Amino acid sequence: MNYKDLLDITKKHGSPLYVYDSEKIRSQYDRLTAAFSNVKNVKINYAVKALSNISILKLVNSFGAGLDTVSIQEVKLGLLAGVHPSDIIFTPNGVSLDEIEEVSAMGVQINIDNLSILEQFGAKHPEVPVCIRINPHVMAGGNTNISVGHIDSKFGISIHQIPHILRIVENTNMNINGIHMHTGSDILDVEVFLYASEILFDTAKHFNNLDFIDFGSGFKVPYKEGDIETNIEEFGEKLSKRFNSFCKEYGKELTLGFEPGKFLVSEAGYFLARVNVVKQTTSTVFAGIDSGFNHLIRPMLYNSYHDIINISNPEGRERFYSVVGYICETDTFATNRRINEITEGDILAFKNAGAYCFSMASNYNSRYRPAEVLWHEGNDYLIRKRETFDDLVKNQIEATFFKKQLVPA
């Protein structure tokens, strides 16, 4: 899709708006599966939390992907999208035994990441196959907000606790059918990932009834020109070889699993916002848009970089702008960024807005969450309507001690 398409869609559906390009999601999926074409059984489970719109779940499922879920609500969204429970894996952290049992009863693969729940679940349901999430203690990237494999991480069961895992499995006679890791969202170095994979293979040898090994995610995508990204092709070649040799050693064709979120949807997404005000101060030119971190929190939360294009004036001469939001809070999207000259009313397109953008949106400042559009084979499909005032008040209940009841708007 091009900037003209984006501009037309924004004119039609209004701003702020999220638009997703199905073709890009497809090509990323194909690229990943092609990299592992030498492995007989590969299963890609799309990480729902990246972008959980039901149409997106249906789309990736139509390619052959299953789902990776972290809450019972995500599982329910998947089922609503028509995904078969056997195509869903539940990888929660810190959720109750009750929730895990409820999801398990739906026929979804359970992945347990702590010894306490493992023991309780195993004692009650020894017949249910369970996957174990391991923490290999490998640092992926340098940002501790997104590195979940390091020593102090709350995720996974430490590899140093394998003897304890084995004792629980033996005592409960439970059935371990998968081994899993997810080391974080920032893997640049293929060698680091392969190193962590070796730890997973070593762990796998302790269990003789496995069906799969799940390598989680951590694929990096480019956010700006010149960014390094995970070399999927090199990675696929190396890990495939090693996986196949492990299967031989293990004596069974296991399934190789991944759970990409960002890799599949990040680059497919655009966030469109309208410039309300151009404000010149003594030092800066601010472009104030009809949005804020309530709609796209990644720049403020993770200091993420999102490319911004003025699609109303893509050929205009470049000037420096700080792009900020309209909420009453510092909500800076970009500082001193070169952008084609901006006039009030122009539409700015934020790139890489597919993953962790809409799914993290809120109603802060009592604003409506944006609408979402799926661009598919040259057509725009509204897949979530913009919220209305009703959405803001529908769960609110007036305290009954007020004598005078509110007048409906």
Catalytic residues: 328
- How many CA atoms are closer than 13 Å to the CA of 293, on its beta-carbon side? 15
142 touches 207 (CB < 8 A): no
Q: In the set 16, 261, 269, 325, which binds ligand PLP (CB under 6 A)? A: 261
CB-nearer residue toward ligand PLP: 120 or 153: 153
CB-nearer residue toward ligand PLP: 88 or 355: 355
Exposure pattern of 19-55 as b/e (b: 16+ CB <10 Å)?
bbbbebbbebbeebbebbeebeebbbbbbbbbbbbeb
Residue with tokens 């997973």: 200
Least spacing, CB of residue 143 vs ligand PLP, in Å? 12
Paired strand residues for 367: none
Mask: binding to ligand PLP, 191-230, rule CB under 6 A, as x and -?
-------------------------xxxx-----------
Least spacing, CB of residue 333 vs ligand PLP, in Å? 21
State the CB neighbour count (10 A cutoff) for residue 215: 21
296 touches 324 (CB < 8 A): no
Least spacing, CB of residue 149 vs ligand PLP, in Å? 11
Residues 6+ apart with CB under 8 A from 105: none
CB-nearer residue toward ligand PLP: 22 or 352: 352
Q: Which of residues 32-61 bind ligand PLP (CB under 6 A)?
A: 47, 49-50
Least spacing, CB of residue 285 vs ligand PLP, in Å? 34
211 touches 247 (CB < 8 A): no
Number of residue whose CB is nearest ligand PLP: 261
Residue whose C-alpha is closest to residue 264's, from 14, 56, 18: 56
Count residues binding ligand PLP (CB under 6 A).
18
CB-nearer residue toward ligand PLP: 122 or 261: 261
Instruction: Give the Cα separation of 342 and 277 in Å (integer).
Output: 10
* Chain residues in the site for ligand PLP (CB under 6 A): 47, 49-50, 68, 70, 91, 182, 185, 216-219, 259-263, 355
